[in-house]
Amino acid sequence: MSQYAALRANVGLLGTQLGDTVRNQLGDAVLERIEQIRQLAKQARQGTEAENQQLKQILAGLGDDEILPVARAFAQFLNLANLAEQYHTISKAGHSSIEKPEPLAELLTLLQQKNVDLAKTRQAVADLSIELVLTAHPTEVTRRTLIYKLTQIADCLAELEQDLTAAQRHKIELRLSDLITQAWHTNEIREQRPTPVDEAKSGFAVIETSLWYAIPDFIRELDEALTPVLGHGLALDAAPIKFSSWMGGDRDGNPFVTAKVTRQVLLLSRWKAADLFSRDLEVLGNELSMNLANQALRDASGNSSEPYRDVLKQLKNKLLYTRDWLTEALKHDRLQRPDDLLWHNAQLLEPLLLCYRSLLDCKMAVIANGKLLDTIRRAYAFGLTLLKLDVRQESGRHTQVFSEFTKYLGLGDYAQWDESARQAFLLNELASKRPLFPKNWQPSAEVQEVLDTCDIIARHGSEALSTYVISMAGQPSDVLAVQLLLKDAGISFPMRVAPLFETLADLTNAPECISKLLGIDWYRGYIQGKQEVMIGYSDSAKDAGAIAAGWAQYSAQEALVAICRQAKVQLTLFHGRGGTIGRGGGPAHAAILSQPPGSLAGGLRVTEQGEMIRFKFGLSQLAQRSLALYASAVLEGVLLPPPVPKAEWRELMQQLATDSCEAYRAIVRHHPDFVRYFRAATPELELGQLPLGSRPPKRNPNGGVESLRAIPWIFAWSQNRLMLPAWLGAGSALAKVVAQGNTTTIHQMRREWPFFATRLSMLEMVYLKADAQIAAYYDEKLVPNELKHLGVELRNQLEADSKLLLQLIDAKDFMANESWIRESIVLRNTYVDPLHILQVELLNRVRHAPETVNDNIKRALMVTIAGIAAGMRNSG
């Protein structure tokens, strides 16, 4: 029996149920047509050209009334296949077939094998700090209402794994049919773009349905795994993994994120926390009915006969009162906050801990460490603000504030000053005790918006806010400017301010910038020995290609670690990764272990975005597993750091970076036909019509590729399966160093250096997902004849690069040693292929015969985009 038999059985079951739904709703003829297309796609994948041509003819010949149901059937199937795969990773049947089924157990075995010092392990566990930052980039194409139904379907699959009677099985299968029919009759494409508040609510929904349960379960799992090794469990206040958010705080390039929106999201986050904790207390009130209590609890309850219930009831009433006040506050721009609200986490924890200690004192530890401990763990992980919010803004917006202000004062234009003049002005004002901005100053609306945002930060405090991220930061003044704005707003806590280094030039300049910043006495005093720096993966890869960007990120991190170590400053690196390879994506465990030694000493902060949030955290058990993967990787990276690369490795890596960047830019930046080819060969222009995220797809609506955000840039190339940003330049650079006789060194680097091994592994995954035949079909039907030569050139390059990598890794097939990833990709191809062919047909109609395009055609095109994104998984 195949190790993936259970996965394929579940995929088959869900596919059959979907087929039954289609038959019931649309009749046998439509189902037969869909099944014919599926069979032809399967045969075409096995190399039968006749079936391939027949498949294209049938799809091109579909009538207007057939196109939409066919597109929807394949798109819905891919959502169901994704769900079956997610469930497989946490099912009993899937345990033996997935990568790292028991990450924590494997880690502890490895530490024992390597004789890692116990004291070091204890310290690493005590210091374990992982912050996952949920971001709402426009890659999640599945609506929340469908996500709910998919979660319910996963519950049915779990039930079907149990020993059931025929009647019980029939009942569950009826529920599956019910849910899949609901999904079929639900519009999978949003009618309107989500607002930033809608995006924030999606983040809250992930916590409510999944992470709320996963966090205490994960910490319990970690505690039980570590106790036999360390001789003791985790501290009661342990919160090794916390969550923050950019949803409602990331205003870089998003005009819809305003100070008013940020305030609304901060209040909604508190509302949801109050609601979730009040539900916990309802359960605890039913459970903690015992009378025996210590004196402290008796005093707090007024010597009640049910002291636990009474203390928790008081807490619950305060939570409900707070929730009611927040409901009103959301209706008004300003509402006076009463003193008796639950606003600080200590107010939530104090009664919970009082009950916990009383239970321990009265020899009821088994009760204390049950549901009450789970709620305490949630209180430390989420608190009364649920998710801490980051604020991100582009450095030019802060420059604009001071430019307007210095002109108003008659001091000249701050924007035109050199770095030393800017620093002198900022440091002088930071040392001043008077307010900076006079009350009678009337700034422009854009400047006022920046000031209003700082006012919101100051009002909501350190429990609600996390880091102020500055994009396009290049100089110390970019950081000092934010510090001054926050000070003038009356901020009462030292908010972390993190410069974000994104482009190749930014990353190269990052060490010098941070070195100068740490050389400023005022700044050193302010940061109290802690510095956060954000490393951008998306824009650097778009700017220079994946290999050059990867090496620039590695080199910058390495230099920053050394600078901060010398300055005795704890560095936290914040990784702005996307879901795809072209944006720093890939398996989290491997990515963490490929970082430079010492880079995890200050903890790990990383973005989780778009559809990856659902794929990693959408189901509670799946989230628990994802958290265990993160924790095991960070502990391993700290206790068993990767080797420092040898001089010859660095030299070769630098050559690869230089050559790959040159080859990448020769096409993307300098080829005269590239932009026109890109727009013809991919649905880039049509992507703008898909109501995905709240943020506009371009920074500059009139600009070319350079103004396109990294996400739609990657998304577009994944739609036509050329996957260009993730591989362009890499293969030609490798070919050059191989021709120079460096094959032995490359093999050594792959064996001994996780950073390089991960780069090659990511290329393997990209080459397996890329499909030159599908890309050629897009060219054949959509690209003008005078531009087709570029497509031929790129596909030839892809073929040559693929062959070279197979030689270098000594393999016949890509991902041969990662059968789980390979199975995942191969499983989807049969269902993605028809969507590609259909998309080409629809793009052809939309572009060349717009008069024939009705709402059905427009919607079908959107469905193919969403379906291909689901099939490609890490598409953005």
Contacts (Cβ under 8 Å, ≥6 apart) of 811: 817
Taking alpha carbons only, the member of 495, 528, 537, 535 closest to residue 513 is 535
For 51-58, which contacts have Cβ atoms below 8 Å and span 24 or more sequence positions? 55/833, 55/834, 55/837, 56/777, 56/837, 58/33
Instruction: Determine contact, residues 306/343, Cβ cutoff 8 Å.
Output: no
Instruction: Determine contact, residues 99/818, Cβ cutoff 8 Å.
Output: yes
Instruction: Determine contact, residues 8/2, Cβ cutoff 8 Å.
Output: yes
Instruction: Determine contact, residues 625/90, Cβ cutoff 8 Å.
Output: yes
Rounded Cα–Cα distance for residues 869 and 876 (Å): 8
Taking alpha carbons only, the member of 396, 397, 392, 349 closest to residue 373 is 349
Q: Is 137 tagged catalytic?
A: yes
Helices and strands per DSSP (H, E), number in the chain: 39, 8
Q: Is 516 tagged catalytic?
A: no
For 60-64, which contacts have Cβ atoms below 8 Å and span 24 or more sequence positions? 60/837, 60/841, 62/838, 62/841, 64/854, 64/856, 64/857
Region of residue 467 (left: phi > 0; alpha: psi -120 to 50; beta: else): beta
Region of residue 115 (left: phi > 0; alpha: psi -120 to 50; beta: else): left
Instruction: Determine contact, residues 868/832, Cβ cutoff 8 Å.
Output: yes
CB atoms within 10 A of CB 701: 9
Helix (H) or strand (E) holding 499: strand 496-501
Contacts (Cβ under 8 Å, ≥6 apart) of 556: 501, 507, 508, 510, 511, 535
Counted residue by residue, the chain has a size of: 876
Task: Write the burial class of residue 91 (CB in 10 Å: 0-12 exposed, 13-18 middle, 19+ buried).
Answer: buried
Strands (E), 77-231: 130-135
Rounded Cα–Cα distance for residues 77 and 16 (Å): 10
Rounded Cα–Cα distance for residues 622 and 91 (Å): 10
Instruction: Determine contact, residues 30/22, Cβ cutoff 8 Å.
Output: yes
Pairing verdict, β 496-501 and 530-536: parallel
Rounded Cα–Cα distance for residues 154 and 619 (Å): 8
Selecting among 88, 542, 575, 589, the annotated active-site residue is 542
Selecting among 137, 149, 316, 575, the annotated active-site residue is 137
DSSP type of residue 337: P
- Residues catalogued as catalytic: 137, 542
